[in-house]
């Protein structure tokens, strides 16, 4: 499984404008819904926030992987966003979160969903990868960095 199978260049946000967790979720949901036919922004934001209420998806080291299931997506889809200043996302390490990787899967795709989460987590564990994403000048370069790193594994 490759990340570029479910992230397209237009689903990368160069700089998120929101400054708190709920607004970040809404901004990411809005962007994804604007690029994936049939996905309702409010429904997606609700699904992502319900998952956040269980436990924060901020895994530390400046990374969060908000995720959920929504039949409207039809297949696995993802959106990547960056906040160079960082946002309090209730991270396990207490540090601000700068990189957000939203993953949405259809209701009946547990295996694919878990494999994608594992792949994303592995990729984002690399400190140089995270540094390059944060330093990238624009969304196109962010996507290229993801694609290049994805091709290495």
State mean pLDDT over 40-59. 96
pLDDT for position 124: 92
Could you tell me the pTM of the whole model? Answer: 0.95
Quick one: which H or E segment has residue 101? strand 97-105
| CATH class in words for 10-152 | alpha beta
67 catalytic per annotation: yes
Instruction: Say whether pLDDT at 153 is over 80.
Output: no
- State both tokens at 119: 């792949």
Gap between the Cα atoms of 146 and 80, Å rounded = 10
- CB count, 10 Å around CB of 114? 12
pLDDT for position 83: 98
User: Which member of 31, 35, 67, 95 is catalytic?
Assistant: 67
Would you kindly state where each structural domain of the chain is located, as residue ranges? 10-152
Gap between the Cα atoms of 6 and 91, Å rounded = 25
pLDDT for position 152: 85
Instruction: Say whether pLDDT at 109 is over 90.
Output: no
pLDDT for position 110: 77
CA 108 to each of CA 1, 17, 35, 38: distance values in angstroms, whole numbers, following the listed order: 18, 33, 22, 17
pLDDT for position 134: 97
């Amino acid at each position: 499984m490759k990340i570029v199978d479910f992230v397209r260049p237009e689903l990368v946000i160069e700089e998120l404008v929101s400054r708190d967790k709920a607004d970040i979720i809404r901004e990411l949901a809005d962007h994804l819904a604007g690029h994936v036919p049939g996905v309702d922004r409010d429904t997606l934001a609700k699904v992502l926030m319900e998952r956040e209420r269980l436990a924060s998806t901020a895994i530390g080291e400046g990374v969060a992987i908000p995720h959920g299931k929504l039949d409207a997506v039809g297949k696995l889809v993802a959106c990547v966003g960056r906040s160079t200043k960082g946002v309090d996302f209730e991270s396990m390490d207490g540090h601000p979160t700068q990189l957000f990787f939203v993953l949405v899967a259809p209701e009946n795709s547990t295996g694919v969903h878990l494999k994608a989460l594992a792949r994303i987590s592995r990729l984002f564990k690399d400190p140089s990868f995270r540094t390059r994403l944060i330093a990238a000048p624009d969304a196109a370069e962010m996507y290229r960095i993801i694609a290049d790193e994805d091709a290495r594994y």
